Structure 1
Amino acid sequence: MDRLDNLSTFVAVAEQGSFIAASRQLGRSTTAVSRAVAVLEDVLGTQLLTRTTRAVALTQAGQRTLEQARRILADYAQLRDAADGNATPSGLITITAPEMFGRLHVLPLVESFMAAHSNVEISLLLLNRMVSLIDEGVDLGVRIAHLSDSSLRAIRLGSVRQVLCASPDYLAMAGTPLHPKDLANHRVIAIMGARPLPFRWRFRSSTNPRSVLVKPQLVVNSVQAALEAASRGAGITRVLSYQSAPLEEIGALRRLLIAHEPPSIPIHLVYPVGRYLPSRIRMFIDHAVAALRGRFPEVE
């Protein structure tokens, strides 16, 4: 193995946290991966990793070397990409997004991008959990959240809001709430999440309580189920604005208490810091930004 290959192997071990996981990612034997790291340590004259039976950890020298190795590999990838000139983009892009957002907004982009670039393959992971891009080998991710992960570079695409909605039939029968406290007199459909009961919905208001305790008549573990129940008149539910938008557009749901909606939640396209992006990934980012930015306007 040459030294660049040893560097890339070391980076894989450091990011995966184990020789076994790195060997699976690289398609090599664990022995070959371990040997490559040992050769690199011998060349550099320092220990880069501390090894246990289950995992590895970076030494201080290893942490410094990891940052430098990423830059070297990124520079080499950029040089190789530039040498390709106008070569047709090819290869695999792995993307993750929340299930419903991905189905509604990312999948159409994937289809149109593949139609324009037939040599590109895309693996789209629609998951309602936070995916570690580095640990799980993902190139790009859509995050609908306030970001705190400094290992990711982010491109803001817009924002969404938490909104209340109900069907016209339900509102005709039960009346329209004018204030969050009015929810005590309405049927509520809640979505079970990571937080335990009770269900407390937050609102923006300068003179009234910032949150309201709701007692749902129906609790579901699916946003789609909550929307379908609400559209059939089962009560009032709370979702993200992009989730209810298709049903609002056809008049199946109406948005409620707009003046009391909490601050918006940003949408970002994210990717790991310190990696050079191959042309296929840069082109997909441009494609996604052009299509999505402006579709979710920033509203405070």
Structure 2
Amino acid sequence: MDRLREMEVFVAILERGSFSAASDKFGLSRAAVSRAVNSLETRLGAQLLARTTRSVRPTDAGVAYLDACRKLLDGITDAESHIAADPANPVGTLTITAPVQLGQLFIAPLVNAYTLRYAEVSVNAVYLDRPTRLLEEGVDIAIRIGHLEDSSTFAVRLGSVRRQTFASPAYLAEYGEPMHPRDLAAHHCVSFTGVSQPHEWMFYENNSKIPVRLQPRLIVNLAPAAISAVQDGVGITQLLSYQAAAEVACGNLVPILRQYEPESTPVNLLHVERRGTSSKIRSFVEFVTETLRGNACLQCASGVTSGGECTQRESHREAARHAETHTQHLQPRSYSSDDSAAIRSSR
């Protein structure tokens, strides 16, 4: 087996999670896959994989070698695609991650439209509520909510969201509206653990933190469950602005305590700089950026209530319109300092 194929097998083992999955991908026997790994480890003089009967993971040397293999294989793929195909029609596999609800509402429709537009790109879309390590987990693009620090990660700012407090009109009619965060001690509360601590919510006044201790009636780990409970009159909750935008637009939820909200939190699209010239990554960034920047739910400025006409149906319609009008000939693009920065994700 040649060296490049051994590298491809090694990468496939870690990306697919097992030797058998790698053997299925390349039509090789499990023994051949094992020989490929043994050949690499012998040549490098280092153990690359730690194996048990149930799992396989990279050693420290394996993590470094995985990154090197991906760089080399990506470079070969990009070189071949530039020679063999029109740069406006990228090829390859694109792996994308985003938070679950953000992905369901706004990213999935654009991924679907992108997949229809670029037939030679296979997309692996993973929606999960935890930060991913782009290099280690083979992720090309990650949509993140949160503040970022300096690093080799490349970011494109898409917008921002806010942590807000919500109640139903019926609840407010029965119990009254709290005028200050400390008034929540006299109210029923629903804690959503994805946004706030179960027994302590944080507010801000004159740039100072106001921690408010609670005894919630209900604690949930899913935003839709919190929304359902609030609409049913169980109590008051905290959510990210985009999560409740549709219910606010319909009048089912009302934002309260607006003057005590924290500053908005940025939403960014991340990828690694070394892949910045990859046609599949460049095409996806250009495909989604304009639409997401135009999404009212992701443009939550201070003192402005998100919502309006922002609904899941509108998101799907916008993705369809974007697919129809997207340019037929992509040109290489240089990102300005307003668009991006070299940063390290804090999430």
Q: Could you say if the C-alpha distance between residues 90 and 10 of structure 1 is closer, same or farther in structure 2, counting changes exceeding 3 Å?
A: closer
Distance across 1 between alignment mates of 2:126 and 2:74: 25
Amino acid at match of 1:238: Q
* Alignment match, 2:320: none
> What amino acid maps onto 1:226 in structure 2?
A
How far did 1:289 drift?
1.4
Contact 1:23/1:29 (<8 A) preserved: no
Following the alignment from structure 1 to structure 2, what is the Cα–Cα distance between the partners of residues 208 and 271? 34
Two-structure CA RMSD over aligned residues (Å): 3.6
Residue 286 (structure 1) shift: 1.6
- Tell me the CA shift for residue 176 of structure 1: 1.9
* Native 8 Å contact 1:199 1:215 kept in 2: yes
Aligned pairs for 1:116-195 within 5 A: 116-131=117-132, 133=134, 137-147=138-148, 153-192=154-193
% identical equivalent positions:
36
Is the CA contact (8 Å cut-off) linking 2:241 and 2:300 kept in structure 1? Answer: no
SS in structure 1 of the partner of residue 107 of structure 2 = helix
- TM-superposed CA distance for 1:150, in Å, is 5.6
Q: Secondary structure at the match of 2:299?
A: coil
More displaced, 175-184 or 128-137? Answer: 128-137
Q: Which ranges of structure 1 fall in alignment gaps of 5 or more residues?
A: none
Matched to 1:168, the amino acid is P
Residues 105-161 of structure 1 deviation map (CA, whole Å, 9 limit, x = unaligned): 012212322333344443433333444555655443322234569685433322211
Q: 3-state DSSP class of the match of 1:219? A: strand
Compute the TM-score of the two structures, normalised by the length of structure 1.
Answer: 0.79
Distance of 2:119 and 2:48 partners within structure 1: 44
> Paired residue for 1:82?
82
Shift of 1:25: 8.0
Q: Does 1:284 align with 2:259?
A: no
Larger displacement relative to structure 2 (282-291 or 108-117): 108-117
Report the Cα offset of residue 174 of structure 1.
2.0
Offset from partner CA, 1:83-113 (integer Å, 9 cap, x none) = 0241644554343322211111012212322
Report the CA distance between 1:226 and its aligned residue: 1.5
Partner secondary structure for residue 204 of structure 1 = strand
Deviation string, structure 1 residues 225-270 (Cα, Å, up to 9, x no partner): 2112323433211000001111112222221112211233222223
Determine whether 1:49 maps to 2:51.
no
- Structure 1: how far apart are the matches of 2:301 and 2:17? 44
Aligned CA distance change for structure 1 residues 63 and 165 (closer, same or farther; 3 Å)? closer
Name the structure 2 match of 1:297.
299
Note the C-alpha offset of 1:218: 2.6
Change (3 A) 1:193 1:104: closer
Match of 1:107 in 2: 108
- Which of 167-176 and 135-144 deviates more? 135-144
For the 8 Å contact 2:10–2:37, the answer to whether it is kept is yes
Tell me, in whole angstroms, the C-alpha distance in 2 between the residues paired with 1:117 and 1:34.
35
User: 2: distance between equivalents of 1:293 and 1:98?
Assistant: 17
Which residue of 2 is the match for residue 236 of structure 1? 236
Counterpart-to-counterpart distance in 1, 2:126 and 2:15: 19
Q: Which moved more, 1:24-33 or 1:166-175?
A: 24-33
Structure 2, unpaired ranges of 5+: 303-347
CA contact (8 A) 1:204 1:260 kept: yes
Instruction: Provide the secondary structure at the position in 1 that maps to 2:204.
Output: coil
In structure 2, C-alpha distance between the alignment counterparts of 1:104 and 1:33, rounded to whole Å: 40
Structure 1 residues 181 and 107, CA gap change in structure 2 (3 angstroms):
same
Contact 1:93 1:139 in 2 (8 A): yes
Q: Which secondary structure state, in structure 2, belongs to the residue aligned with residue 210 of structure 1?
A: strand
Give the conservation status (yes or no) of the 8 Å contact 1:90–1:119.
yes
Q: Is 1:199 aligned with 2:218?
A: no
The answer as to 2:226 corresponding to 1:251 is: no
Distance (whole Å) between structure 1 residues aligned to residue 273 and residue 20 of structure 2: 21
Distance in 2 separating the partners of 1:21 and 1:155:
37
Q: Runs ≥4 in structure 1, deviation > 6 angstroms? A: none
Q: How many residues matched? A: 294
Answer yes or no: is the 8 Å Cα contact 1:200–1:214 preserved in 2: yes
Bigger mean CA offset, 50-59 vs 110-119: 50-59
Cα distance in 1, alignment partners of residues 284 and 212 from structure 2: 42
The residue matched to 1:234 in structure 2 has which SS?
Answer: coil
In 1, the alpha carbon distance for the partners of 2:243 and 2:275 equals 33
Would you say the 8 A contact 1:16–1:22 is kept in 2?
no
> Matches of 1:245 and 1:36 in 2, distance apart?
52
Aligned to 1:23: 22
Residue aligning to 2:216: 216
User: Residue type of the partner of 2:94?
Assistant: I
Q: State the SS of the aligned residue for 2:255.
A: strand
CA-CA distance at 1:273 after TM superposition: 6.0
Q: Distance in 2 between matches of 1:102 and 1:192?
A: 19
